[in-house]
Structure 1
Amino acid sequence: MVANCESAPKSARSGEESVRSVELFSGCGGLALGLAQAGFEHLLLVERDRHSVENVQHNIGRGIEHVGHWEVHSKDVRAVNWRIFKDLVEFVAGGPPCQPFSIGGLHRGEEDARDMWPEAVRAIREITPKGFLFENVRGLLRLKFADHLDWIKLSLTEPYLAQRDNEDRGSHLRRLRNRETEGAYKVMVIKVNAADYGAPQKRHRVLFLGVHKSAASSIEAPRPTHSRERLLWDQYVTGEYWRRHCVRKPPISPNNAMDCLTVESLRIEGREPEELPWVTVRDAIADLGEPGSQVKIANHVLQLGARAYPGHTGSPIDEPAKALKAGVHGVPGGENMIAFADGSVRYFTVREAARLQGLPDDYEFVGSWTENMRQLGNAAPVQLAASFGRHIRGILCKAHRPSRKAA
């Protein structure tokens, strides 16, 4: 059984022990790549969307770092027999479809045929991994979905108390709430902003972090590594941000009233925030130049037609971007674009959007701009996945590290 970090396969990049894993609903590979960077070795990725699979397979064929050895299957997760991975992997990850819970969707929750949380639970039940990480939209935390959220968490806590044939979700939830055991897994539901973990994007998500009770008696979330306060410090207290980019420093205070209060407090206290600064759009894309200016950079092509309109004003270049959107009917124009300081706007190129999601420049996208932006709008930021992956991997490896005997 590959459940011991001491005997797991070596990471192709660093020589460190890796943790074997599988991933459901892998999309274009953001979550998988972040976990791979953190030392996870994916034995299988499953994704039904053929366009996403084509992009992942394209990069597998190109031998991209962390990606070249992946195996991705284009199939419905409901057809996968996860039992064959029992004793072979110790980690499960995935991003179940978010449309049933998205603020921009129909809000049908468990009544939506796209609700695949039962399949995520089934994978845990059949594989019995040491840990897991699932990602979804923060809309899942709304009061409307309170019972469904409780069902997800309790089902992941005790996946072996499965829903019976002909048993409705409400009856199963009551059994889960009345269970006599404490559950096989310690589970945390964590509300995060990807910008707090180094992504150049204000992407609010909810993560389900679980560790088998044999691996840890308790768990906690990793501490954020970046902060808005530190960015404001660099911009409006020291001015380091503007000097770094060779940009004329704007007026002494930001436009946002709340940010003004934060800057004033930082000046008065003289307290330099200990975190790294939020990464801005300018930080992420400055070296790319204008679209089309570097032919060696793939997918950096201008898309015409961007315009701002009420409620869709684009992402200010000197802040982390607004969350990239996939859209129900194509890409919503006002969201996936840059708002420059002079008031002009333009669409993000596919390469710029990929950088906002943490995908490297050698990770190429095939197909149309609209289709690729849809995939990127559904992706998990690599930086967020890597940060949580390192944290979880540390928990798992610590659990299996031989204890030192007293001299």
Structure 2
Amino acid sequence: MSKLSVVEICAGAGGQSLGLHLAGFEHRLAVEIDPTAAATLRTNLGRLQPGDDVESLVAVGDVADPRVWNPSEFQAGIDLLAGGVPCPPFSVAGKQLGANDERDLFAWAVELAGRMQPRAVMLENVRGLSSTRFGGYRQAVIDRFEELGYVADWELLEAKDYGVPQLRPRFVLVALRPEDAARFEWPEKKPTSETVGTTLLDLMSKNWKHADTWAYERATGIAPTIVGGSKKHGGADLGPTRAKRAWAALGVDGMGIANEPPNTTDPNHMPRLTLEMVERLQGWHGPEYEWTFTGRKTSHYRQVGNAFPPPVARAVGEAIARAFDPATSSAERSPERKMHDEVYRALRDADDWMTTARIERTLGSRLTADEIEARISRLKHDFEVHEAPRGGSTAWKLGDFKAFRGQEDHDRHLAFADHGRRRQIS
């Protein structure tokens, strides 16, 4: 079968890259801001696509900087635009600044799809983006894709359902042309039977005779979400206090990453994970998933910890490839159009100011006045919402989306102009 083509943005160290390769996609370009992760990409894409010029396959720098790459070179000829745009704007571990975070590139990626016109788009992010806090943001993304000629949908996928012994929920968006969307189905769940213990037993047992007991009596569950951290926060340990407690319940010391497997006679020893162990728990396990990481310990760990698990990316990539092929897909259907925030939609479609009572009438009283005002309060985080008195009540009108979409006067440019802040953007 001929390979499908992909351009990948915010590619990281290549978890998604490898998964898509195994799903039948070849890279035309991967763009990554971190030089060490980009070096990892070059090392591995050169092996996966040996006939290609590896230097031209990876562009290093801010994906939104026109000096780094030219999207117009890939117009009308790419099967898939994919990426793991930065997570901190939506993560519950952060401030959830959304459109006000200089790292937010989700809305920009949607506009990029409009410029490049790929056959499909696949973007992944953290679970936090699925929360009610970002209902308006999601609705704006879905609506914009519809304007661009795509049918878009989000699904919360957990790595444990696709062969990876880790929880790791990821919120994945897939957008397709209507004819392909009619054949698209999210990948079937195939929960893993592996645990932390069974996955790591051979590594733990090299110099620890009690590793069997650890694996079958203590490390009997799947791993909590591995946390890679950003350049602003996080180092080579297994995450915040709650995550460390979850690791401790599995018999793992989450305070750091070990250089070597345990070498002890203590039956009650609580081992730390090595980088190789973390790679396995992230889905780099087995001959198909061979991958070589560059960089020193903290960078190596961050590359692994921030990755989209390759088996999950593979499952979604295969689902997209099936939707492209009428001969292998199931019968066509009408994709369900989910509503993420009807208050946003009512304000967006209004030709005048909207009071709470008018919004209630527009929505058929599906929401109470208090619920409507709570939605408007959340919208103010990501959109300009104008207020004015109308007949003894407050009325609203939806203004601009605050998210970066490529605007020349956006505050994001100030962050990248500041050398100190730019070094912390990931």
Q: TM-score range by the shorter chain?
A: 0.5 to 0.7
- Corresponding residue to 1:146 among 135, 156, 173: 135
**Quick one: structure 1 residues 400 and 344, their matched pair in 2 at CA, closer, same or farther if it must change by over 3 Å?**
closer
Deviation at 1:17, TM superposition (A): 2.2
Task: Provide the secondary structure at the position in 2 that maps to 1:153.
Answer: helix
Asked whether the 8 Å contact 1:199–1:358 carries over to 2, the reply is yes
The yes-or-no answer on 1:210 pairing with 2:175 is yes
**Quick one: structure 1 residues 158 and 349, their matched pair in 2 at CA, closer, same or farther if it must change by over 3 Å?**
farther
Task: Provide the secondary structure at the position in 2 that maps to 1:191.
Answer: strand
Asked whether the 8 Å contact 1:136–1:206 carries over to 2, the reply is yes
Deviation at 1:332, TM superposition (A): 4.0
Unpaired segments ≥5 residues, structure 2: 209-217, 253-266, 330-426
Asked whether the 8 Å contact 2:19–2:310 carries over to 1, the reply is yes
Asked whether the 8 Å contact 1:189–1:206 carries over to 2, the reply is yes
Q: What is the alpha-carbon distance in structure 2 between the residues aligned to residue 158 and residue 37 of structure 1?
A: 32
- Per-residue CA deviations over 1:134-156 (Å, capped at 9, x if unaligned) read 10001011222221121222223
Q: What is the alpha-carbon distance in structure 1 between the residues aligned to residue 164 and residue 145 of structure 2?
A: 28
After superposition, residues 355-394 of structure 1 pair within 5 angstroms as: 355-360=280-285, 362-394=290-322
Q: What is the alpha-carbon distance in structure 1 between the residues aligned to residue 51 and residue 15 of structure 2?
A: 14
- Corresponding residue to 1:130 among 119, 124, 132: 119
The yes-or-no answer on 1:32 pairing with 2:21 is no
- Per-residue CA deviations over 1:213-246 (Å, capped at 9, x if unaligned) read 13343633122112xxxxxxxxxxxxxxxxxxxx
The two structures, once aligned, show a CA RMSD in angstroms of 2.7
Find the counterpart in structure 1 of residue 58 from structure 2. 72
Q: What is the alpha-carbon distance in structure 1 between the residues aligned to residue 51 and residue 204 of structure 2?
A: 28
Deviation at 1:344, TM superposition (A): 3.8
- Corresponding residue to 1:326 among 228, 232, 250: 228
Most deviating of 77-86 and 325-334: 325-334
Q: What is the alpha-carbon distance in structure 2 between the residues aligned to residue 17 and residue 52 of structure 1?
A: 28
Most deviating of 41-50 and 71-80: 71-80
Find the counterpart in structure 1 of residue 219 from structure 2. 317
Find the counterpart in structure 2 of residue 404 from structure 1. none
The code of the aligned residue for 1:322 comes to P
- TM-score (normalised: structure 2): 0.62
Percent identity over the alignment is: 30
Find the counterpart in structure 2 of residue 281 from structure 1. 196
Q: What is the alpha-carbon distance in structure 1 between the residues aligned to residue 310 and residue 224 of structure 2?
A: 16
- Per-residue CA deviations over 1:376-405 (Å, capped at 9, x if unaligned) read 11100011111111111011122799xxxx
Q: What is the alpha-carbon distance in structure 2 between the residues aligned to residue 289 and residue 34 of structure 1?
A: 27
Q: What is the alpha-carbon distance in structure 2 between the residues aligned to residue 89 and residue 140 of structure 1?
A: 27
Deviation at 1:104, TM superposition (A): 0.9
Unpaired segments ≥5 residues, structure 1: 1-15, 160-183, 227-276, 294-315, 402-407
Asked whether the 8 Å contact 2:120–2:175 carries over to 1, the reply is yes
Find the counterpart in structure 1 of residue 42 from structure 2. 57
**Quick one: structure 1 residues 388 and 292, their matched pair in 2 at CA, closer, same or farther if it must change by over 3 Å?**
farther
Q: What is the alpha-carbon distance in structure 1 between the residues aligned to residue 49 and residue 158 of structure 2?
A: 25
Asked whether the 8 Å contact 2:227–2:305 carries over to 1, the reply is yes
Aligned residues: 289
Deviation at 1:292, TM superposition (A): 8.6
Most deviating of 382-391 and 50-59: 50-59
The code of the aligned residue for 2:60 comes to S
- Corresponding residue to 1:340 among 221, 241, 251: 251
The code of the aligned residue for 1:153 comes to I
Deviation at 1:207, TM superposition (A): 0.4
Asked whether the 8 Å contact 1:200–1:279 carries over to 2, the reply is yes
Asked whether the 8 Å contact 2:159–2:312 carries over to 1, the reply is yes
After superposition, residues 51-200 of structure 1 pair within 5 angstroms as: 51-60=36-45, 63=47, 65=48, 69=52, 71-78=57-64, 79=66, 80-159=69-148, 184-200=149-165
The code of the aligned residue for 1:364 comes to T
**Quick one: structure 1 residues 31 and 60, their matched pair in 2 at CA, closer, same or farther if it must change by over 3 Å?**
closer
The code of the aligned residue for 2:195 comes to T
Asked whether the 8 Å contact 2:77–2:118 carries over to 1, the reply is no
The code of the aligned residue for 2:228 comes to A
Q: What is the alpha-carbon distance in structure 2 between the residues aligned to residue 363 and residue 68 of structure 1?
A: 19
- TM-score (normalised: structure 1): 0.65
**Quick one: structure 1 residues 399 and 20, their matched pair in 2 at CA, closer, same or farther if it must change by over 3 Å?**
farther
Asked whether the 8 Å contact 1:196–1:278 carries over to 2, the reply is no
The code of the aligned residue for 2:225 comes to A
Task: Pick the structure with more helix per residue.
Answer: 2
